Amino acid sequence: MVFRKLPGVSASGMGLRLSQKFVFLLFLSGLVTLCFGALFFLPDSVRLKRIFLSKTETQPVTVGSGSENDAREHLKRPKNQGGMTPAKGETSTKLKSLSRKPPVSHEATEERLAGGKAQEDLTLPRSKTESASAKATSSDHGANSDTFSYNKFKGCLLKPPLGRDNGKPSDPKTNERREKVKEMMKFAWDNYKRYAWGKNELRPLTRNGHIGNMFGGLRGASIIDSLDTLYIMGLMEEYNDAKEWVQTSLDLNSNGEASLFEVNIRYVGGLLSAYYLTGEELYKSKVMELGEKLLPAFNTPTGIPRGVINLGSSGTSWSWGWASAGSSILAEFGTLHLEFVHLSELSRNPIYTEKVMNIRKLLSKIEKPHGLYPNFLSPVSGNWVQHHVSIGGLGDSFYEYLIKSYLMSDKTDGNAKTMYYGALEAIEANLVQKSPGGLTYMAEWRGGILDHKMGHLACFSGGMIGIGADDGAPEKRQHYMDLAAEITHTCHESYTRSATKLGPEAFRFDGGGEATATRLSDRYYILRPEVIESYMYMWRLTHDPKYREWGWEAVEALEQHCRVESGFSGIRDVYTMTASHDNMQQSFFLSETLKYLYLLFSDDDLLPLEDWVFNTEAHPLPIIRKSCLQDEATQDKTVSE
Positions annotated as catalytic residues are: 505
Maximum separation of any 2 CA atoms in the chain, in Å? 118
**Taking phi first (over 0 means left), then psi (-120 to 50 degrees means alpha), and beta for anything else, what does residue 410 get?**
left
Cα 110 to Cα 61: distance, rounded to the nearest angstrom:
36
What DSSP designation does 313 have? T
H helices of 497-625, in order, are 530-542, 546-557, 587-588, 594-600
H or E element that contains 276: helix 269-278
Measured distance CA(338)–CA(588) in Å, rounded: 18
**HSE (CB half, 13 Å, CA atoms) of 636?**
18
Q: CA–CA distance from 610 to each of 398, 407, 604, 618, 621 (Å)?
A: 22, 9, 10, 16, 11
Spatial distance between the Cα atoms of 171 and 602, rounded to a whole number of angstroms: 10
Q: How would you write 73-107 as a 3-class SS string?
A: HHHHCCCCCCCCCCCCCCHHHHHHHHHCCCCCCHH
Q: In whole angstroms, how large is the CA radius of gyration of the chain?
A: 28
Distance of CA 605 to the CA centre of its chain: 25
Which helix (H) or strand (E) covers residue 310, if one does?
strand 308-310
Buried-exposed string 397-434: b where 16+ CB fall within 10 A, e elsewhere? bbbbbbbbbbbbbeeebeebbebbbebbebbeebbbee
End-to-end Cα separation, the chain, in angstroms: 61
Give the integer Cα–Cα distance in Å for 614 and 231.
Answer: 15
Q: How many angstroms separate the Cα of 224 from the Cα of each of 239, 287, 374, 484? A: 10, 11, 32, 31
Q: How far apart (Å, rounded) are the C-alpha atoms in residues 547 and 542? A: 9
SS3 of 453, please?
strand
Contact 602, 180 (CB under 8 A): no
Q: How many CB atoms sit inside 10 A of residue 110's CB? A: 18
Task: Please state, in angstroms and rounded to a whole number, the distance separating the CA atoms of residues 399 and 387.
Answer: 17
CA atoms within 13 A on the CB side of 554: 32
Nearest-5° Cα angle at 404, 300 to 620: 100
> CB of 362 within 8 A of CB of 382?
yes
* Torsions phi, psi for 55 (to 5 deg): -60, -35
For residues 547 and 557, the answer to whether their CB atoms sit within 8 Å is no
